[in-house]
Chains A and B, each alone.
Chain A
Amino acid sequence: MIRVVLPYHLRTLAGVDGEVVLDVEGGVTQRAVIDALEARYPTLRGTIRDHATHQRRPFLRFHACEQDLSHESPDAPLPDEVAAGKEPFQVVGAIAGG
């Protein structure tokens, strides 16, 4: 069980409140978590990463366990606490606009 925290606009778009809980097959990586997220909520496709390149959108960051994981490899294992469901994987919208 993987816990994911989405920013407000993506929660609204997906029609969810609070954290999202996902089952992830195999290794728990950024790619695997977002694949599972998009499979569960197809309306999120293209909003977190590019449809074709799967590059993270530039104004979004990935945080977990008090670390910024945005520039880690999408195939690197996420922290054990995330894989164990103890800590959430956070999709964060950059704070901008003054």
Chain B
Amino acid sequence: MSSVRVLVGTRKGAFVLESDATRSGWDVRGPHFGGWEIYHVAGSPADPDRLYAAQSTGWFGQIIQRSDDGGKTWEPVGNEFAYATDAGSHKWYDGTPHPWEFARVWHLEPSPTDPDTVYAGVEDAALFRSLDGGHVWEEFPGLRTHESGSGWQPGAGGLCLHSIVLHPTDPERMLVAISAAGVFRTDDAGKTWQPSNRGLRSEGLPDEDAEVGHCVHRIAMHPARPNVLFMQKHWDVMRSDNGGEAWQEISGNLPSDFGFPVAIHAHEPDTVYVVPIKSDSEHYPPDGRLRVYRSRTGGNEWEPLTRGLPQKDCYVNVLRDAMAVDSVDPCGVYFGTTGGQVYASTDSGDSWTTIVRDLPAVLSVEVQTLS
């Protein structure tokens, strides 16, 4: 009998939710690190009891917390994220040069094979890695010093590296996404990086299909099919069938193709989930109706999933790291809102229940399926 653990990062602490495989009753523990912003909590696939949490505030900066017992106890580990080189400056919102400054960790991506290896995507955009369980962090400078780096500009949330996609079998390959620079890919374990944005079009750019400058919100990959990638961009839902070399739009019949998260069904690599948001100026669902949209055809044809979700007067947002799936059969789908609810579906999205409500605004949701 398996069980499920949901890791929730919020504006005011972290919460750990656990249920057996029926996913019908949830034990809620927390808040851990009360009062701190928890941008992300992630578990190691190689050791599910090893968790990492990115804890920060504007007052006291960045802390990385580590648990070795599934979130019951935590210890602070290393919090020094020193850029490896002086790369000069990137662009500020007004187009003037701005020096690189570390602000916070947005996303933690544990290695699929080694519990002590974990990647961190940070603001100002850079990729770091720890090989010793989070004590020491080293940057991959080839990304930030890419020839386009001096032209990168922040999105509204900052110049953040928020998505890290590790190839499931080839440790030399990974993709990252930066708002608002776009996708970058390495085939040599992070030494060198290439923009991977062909096919993206962004109306806010002087050159709509520029090589860099796109506000990518989230990338998802199914481990059984690593060459197929799904992307929620600032506007547009996109798909790549060649590991990110080129992208095509699959927004199809979505009511809005603006949004933040994108997730893939654990057992059906062509079943994809997004949460349409009305616009970049109005960060809430169209018509006040919270609807997850599911495509079972790898995009273009989308169906609204509404059963159990509020269908009137709902004006929450779902942020980029706040949707995840379990690997129970049938697949569970989970997402958290800026209104503090975490919704779960135990039937691949057909119906939803609130598994916890009235938390602080949810920043991230991750799910572990435990054996």
Contact = CB atoms under 8 A, between A and B. Distances in A.
A77 interface: no
Interface in B9-50: 35-36
Contacts of A43: 63, 76
Contact of B59 (A45, A51, A52, A93): A93
Nearest to B35: A9
A46 B76 contact: no
Contacts of A51: 79-80, 82
Interface in B51-83: 57-63, 76, 79-80, 82
A55 B36 CA distance: 22
Q: Looking at chain B's contact residues, is the secondary structure mostly helix, strand, loop, or mixed?
A: loop
Contacts of B62: 46
B57 A9 contact: yes
A10 B60 contact: yes
B61 A57 contact: yes
A43 B77 CA distance: 8
Contact of B79 (A7, A46, A60, A93): A46
A27 to B, nearest CB: 27
B80 A47 contact: no
Contacts of A45: 79-80
Contacts of B76: 13, 43
B61 A47 contact: yes
A72 to B, nearest CB: 20
Interface in A47-64: 47-48, 51-52, 57, 59-60
Nearest to B60: A47
Interface residues of A, number: 17
A46 B36 contact: no
Nearest to B55: A13
A59 B58 contact: yes
A19 B131 CA distance: 36
Contacts, number: 38
A57 B79 contact: no
A65 B61 CA distance: 27
A13 to B, nearest CB: 7
A15 B59 CA distance: 18
Interface string A7-46: 1111001000000000000000000000000000001011
A9 B12 CA distance: 12
Contacts of A9: 35-36, 57, 59-60
A47 B76 CA distance: 12
A10 B62 CA distance: 12
Given A46-B61, A46-B79, A52-B82, 4 more contacts: A9-B60, A10-B60, A47-B63, A60-B59
Interface of B: 35-36, 57-63, 76, 79-80, 82
Nearest 9 Cβ contacts at the A-B interface: A47-B60, A43-B76, A59-B59, A51-B80, A93-B59, A46-B79, A46-B61, A47-B61, A59-B58
17 contacts: A8-B35, A9-B57, A13-B60, A43-B63, A43-B76, A46-B61, A46-B79, A46-B80, A47-B60, A47-B63, A51-B80, A51-B82, A57-B59, A57-B60, A59-B58, A59-B59, A93-B59
